[in-house]
Amino acid sequence: MKKLMLTSALAGVLVSSAAFAQTTITGEIRVNYKAVGAETASGTVTTSGRGFGTEQQINVQTKGKLNVGGLDYAAGFAIENDGQQVGTLFNENSYIDLTNASSGTTISFSQDHIQRSDTDRSAAVLVGHTPNEMSSSGPAGTRFGQNLGPQVGQSWTVSILQKVGDFGTVSYSYAPNLTNAVSDGGLGALPTNRTGTAPSETFAEDDNEGGYEYGFVGSLGIKGLNAYYFNSAANAKGAQTTIPHAQSYGASYNMGEFSIGYANKRYNANTTNLDTTEKHYGIAYAINKDATIGIVHAKADAESSAVTQKVTGINLGYALGPVDLTATVARNKDIGGTAGSDSDMLMLRLIGKF
């Protein structure tokens, strides 16, 4: 990704401070095309759809050293627009990190920044699109989730991260109030307010609760291995009986041109404490330095139904210099747990970076 460097003189014009040792501005634009054809149990085509989607993002980041304790610091934020976004444009990758380089310890005050489980993380997706992106909505909607459980990592949190030699990094995050406290995937009785929406000098008092997440990401000292484990939960509010929670773990392993991956997600998905479990399997082959092809198979089970939703897709990734192309064709079976509700899907994505 090309970077536009702000000189120290320009930084001095913006803010008179020697702390701005290095400031960078980067960006990305995504253009997606998705086409879906669905059919009922009898094989009759009932719905189809096609169209473009887009996302734009600008990242502003700076780093340097504090004038006390020899600590490193990093700070930044992103301006992100998903399509025609109606919510805040500043709810991604906003942070101030304080790091002790000698001990490998970082304290992070941030939103959507540190390692976490509540994104579309899947170690099985080695190239291309996730099972959630490859799926389509049938009569009962898709079971594959994009955000899991209480979504702690998408709230403003105070977090501590500790590097453990060559094994990886452990982390713990606490959100005093959940930012994304909305009914996502039928989570039910979550708090309704959103932190971080008011000016920094004000705070609306209420009895809403927050949540926590702990996890690990690393190689375990094995070259080519990338493993992770996360566990998160929301704190109960009053007589609330549904406690959103999520557990996510997986690993990928690179063997030169070939890579394999597996991911497992279990999370609260409705108001009756019935969980959804996703299992993803993937394999990829690097054709050359620019092109990679992969196969992903995933299934999603809900405790409320005996029918399993499945999706199988073939992904292709191709680097075109400053632009990346990903393409996927996929087949969905028993969408949303409705037997015989199937679909075929095509998805293309161009990613331009600057």
Ranges of H-type helices in the chain: 8-14, 131-134
Report the candidate in 155, 263, 139 with the shortest Cα–Cα distance to residue 208: 155
Q: What's the CATH architecture for 4-353?
A: Beta Barrel (2.40)
Q: Reply yes or no on whether the pLDDT at 18 is more than 60.
A: no
Higher local confidence (pLDDT), 126 or 190: 126
Q: What DSSP state is assigned to residue 155?
A: S
Across 11-20, 27-36, 180-189, the highest mean pLDDT is recorded for 27-36
The pLDDT tens digits of the residues spanning 262-305 come to 999 998 855 556 788 999 999 999 999 999 999 999 999 988 78
For the CA atoms of 234, 235, 238, 243, the dihedral, rounded to the nearest 10 degrees, stands at 40
Mean per-residue pLDDT for 219-236? 91
pTM value surpassing 0.75: yes
The pLDDT tens digits of the residues spanning 57-101 come to 999 999 999 988 889 999 999 998 887 766 677 778 999 999 999
Q: Reply yes or no on whether the pLDDT at 154 is more than 50.
A: yes
- The confidence score (pLDDT) of residue 145 equals 83
- The confidence score (pLDDT) of residue 1 equals 35
**pLDDT band per the 50, 70, 90 thresholds, residue 226:** very high
Report the candidate in 120, 32, 127, 24 with the shortest Cα–Cα distance to residue 78: 24
Report the candidate in 143, 121, 141, 132 with the shortest Cα–Cα distance to residue 34: 132
**pLDDT band per the 50, 70, 90 thresholds, residue 5:** very low
204 Cα distance to chain centroid: 28
**pLDDT band per the 50, 70, 90 thresholds, residue 329:** very high
Q: Reply yes or no on whether the pLDDT at 10 is more than 90.
A: no
Least confident of 72-76, 317-321, 337-341: 337-341
Higher local confidence (pLDDT), 25 or 274: 25
- The confidence score (pLDDT) of residue 187 equals 35
| Domain assignments of the chain as residue spans, ordered by start | 4-353
Q: Reply yes or no on whether the pLDDT at 15 is more than 70.
A: no
The amino acid at residue 99 is T
Mean per-residue pLDDT for 150-177? 92
- The confidence score (pLDDT) of residue 269 equals 53
- Whether the CB-CB separation of 143 and 319 falls below 8 Å is answered with no
Q: 64-92 b/e with 16+ CB inside 10 Å = b?
A: beeeeeebbbbbbbbebeeeeeeeeeebb
Higher local confidence (pLDDT), 124 or 136: 124
Contacts (Cβ under 8 Å, ≥6 apart) of 4:
24, 25, 26, 354
Q: Reply yes or no on whether the pLDDT at 11 is more than 50.
A: no
- The confidence score (pLDDT) of residue 263 equals 95
- Whether the CB-CB separation of 330 and 308 falls below 8 Å is answered with no
